[in-house]
Amino acid sequence: MRIGMIYDLREQYLLQGFNLEQTAEFDSTATVEAIERGIRDMGLVPERIGNLFEAMPALGQGRRWDLVFNIAEGLYGLSRESQVPALLEAHRIPCTFSDALVLAVCLHKGVTKRIIRDLGLPTPDFAVIQDLAETEGLALSFPLFAKPVAEGTSKGISQASLIQDKNALERTCADLLARFQQPVLVERYLPGREFTVGVVGTGPKARCLGAMEVLLLENAEQDVYSLSNKEEYEDRVRYQLVDGVLSRKLAGLAVDLWRGLGARDAGRVDIRLDEHGRPQILEINPLPGLHPIRSDLSILCRFQGITHGELIRMIMESALERALTGHNAPYSPVASVHGTRHAAGLAA
């Protein structure tokens, strides 16, 4: 089987003049090589395609793959993570991870939180600020927490995100609106412990890989799992597995949200405790970082004795089951009219 690989290589964008913050979510050569190695270890043939702008002409030239391992974050727009899956859906080529709809929904933290509430799951009260004037009369009590509505890897999160008064709210929102050119999510700050929960699988087969607590060390930016803390995690952060009743609660929330949103294959759910020790969902990451050493999901798997190659295999097996059976294949009205279904775009 031919397995295409689509990704945004950070060094490629840096050479084009993008800065470190703009490329913070993009992947390293080490990540691409590790995924490639995991695919090859399964007896499959990986083929590097490149980013969205390299995939489009390749598809136009008629190149096809049995499955695409997609980790492309995208560059522009509030739905940028969904652009590659949407392109592949149009060509009836299956890919790893969630479909275009789920990735678009989950990238917008405000939309995601509305769905979390509709599912009856706990999440902090929030507001989405699109204009600085909307900070006036905000019906939320301090302290608050602010971050860009559609960024990952903790981009835009710093100690300034923890807001104690109206002046700080205006100052932080003004900065984030200007820097990221997108709305700002403002939510009630939760003072309790913070966790990330790994999930693997799809639908009824989705299961928790474990829950990991994020502990900030003395020299870290305090109270926030910021971009700088993540980038210097070896000196600033300690991680530890959670067990017992709390672990089961966290796992239950994560899997319920995963299934409720229709997320696929693998990802993370971030959860924090409120002032009463009750877990509250912060957000979901259905397109997780997969650096073999540094990414949260990889760190969690190592604690559980799962190698990076085994993680890639689990992701691939979940995606291949969908590709080979046609389950959750993109709906085609033309195929339905003619009573046929293409075999999930499998290449000859």
pLDDT digits (tens, 9 = 90+) for 89-101: 999 999 999 999 9
pLDDT digits (tens, 9 = 90+) for 122-146: 999 999 999 999 999 899 999 999 9
The domains of the chain, with CATH numbers, are: 2-106 (3.40.50.20), 125-188 (3.30.1490.20), 194-323 (3.30.470.20)
Q: Is 53's pLDDT higher than 50?
A: yes
- Nearby residues of 338 by Cβ (< 8 Å), 6 or more positions away: none
Query: By mean pLDDT, which of 119-128, 161-170, 226-235, 327-336 is the weakest?
Result: 327-336
pLDDT digits (tens, 9 = 90+) for 173-216: 999 999 999 999 999 999 999 999 999 999 999 999 999 999 99
Helix (H) or strand (E) holding 41: helix 29-41
Stretch 329-334: mean pLDDT, rounded?
A: 41
Stretch 288-314: mean pLDDT, rounded?
A: 98
Partners of 95 in the beta sheet? 68
What is the share, in percent, of the chain residues with pLDDT greater than 90? 88
Cα(318)–Cα(206) distance, rounded to whole angstroms? 9
The pLDDT assigned to 109 comes to: 97
pLDDT bucket at 73, cuts 50 / 70 / 90: very high
The pLDDT assigned to 223 comes to: 87
Tell me the two tokens of residue 105: 């929904």
Cα(9)–Cα(90) distance, rounded to whole angstroms? 24
Radius of gyration, alpha carbons of the chain: 20
pLDDT digits (tens, 9 = 90+) for 246-268: 999 999 999 999 999 999 999 99
pLDDT bucket at 327, cuts 50 / 70 / 90: low
Report the largest interatomic distance among the alpha carbons of the chain, rounded to a whole angstrom: 65
The pLDDT assigned to 153 comes to: 82
Cα(159)–Cα(221) distance, rounded to whole angstroms? 6
Stretch 287-303: mean pLDDT, rounded?
A: 97
The pLDDT assigned to 344 comes to: 33
Helix (H, G, I), strand (E, B) or coil at 29: helix
Please check whether residue 259 is in contact with residue 206, taking contact to mean a CB–CB distance below 8 angstroms. yes
Phi, psi of 247 (to 5 degrees): -60, -40
- Nearby residues of 96 by Cβ (< 8 Å), 6 or more positions away: 67, 68, 69, 70, 71, 265, 315, 316, 319
Please count the other Cβ atoms lying within 10 Å of the Cβ belonging to residue 165: 11
Q: What average pLDDT is seen over the chain?
A: 93
CA atoms lying within 13 Å on the CB side of residue 33 = 4
Cα(62)–Cα(311) distance, rounded to whole angstroms? 31
Tell me the two tokens of residue 233: 């995690």
Stretch 35-53: mean pLDDT, rounded?
A: 98
Stretch 20-48: mean pLDDT, rounded?
A: 97
- Terminal CA-to-CA distance of the chain, rounded, Å? 9
Stretch 22-49: mean pLDDT, rounded?
A: 97
Tell me the two tokens of residue 300: 């969690």
Stretch 322-343: mean pLDDT, rounded?
A: 50
Query: By mean pLDDT, which of 41-55, 123-137, 214-228 is the weakest?
Result: 214-228
The pLDDT assigned to 106 comes to: 98
Cα(149)–Cα(184) distance, rounded to whole angstroms? 5
Stretch 9-22: mean pLDDT, rounded?
A: 95
What CA dihedral angle connects 281, 217, 286 and 52, to 10 degrees?
A: 140
Global pTM reads: 0.91
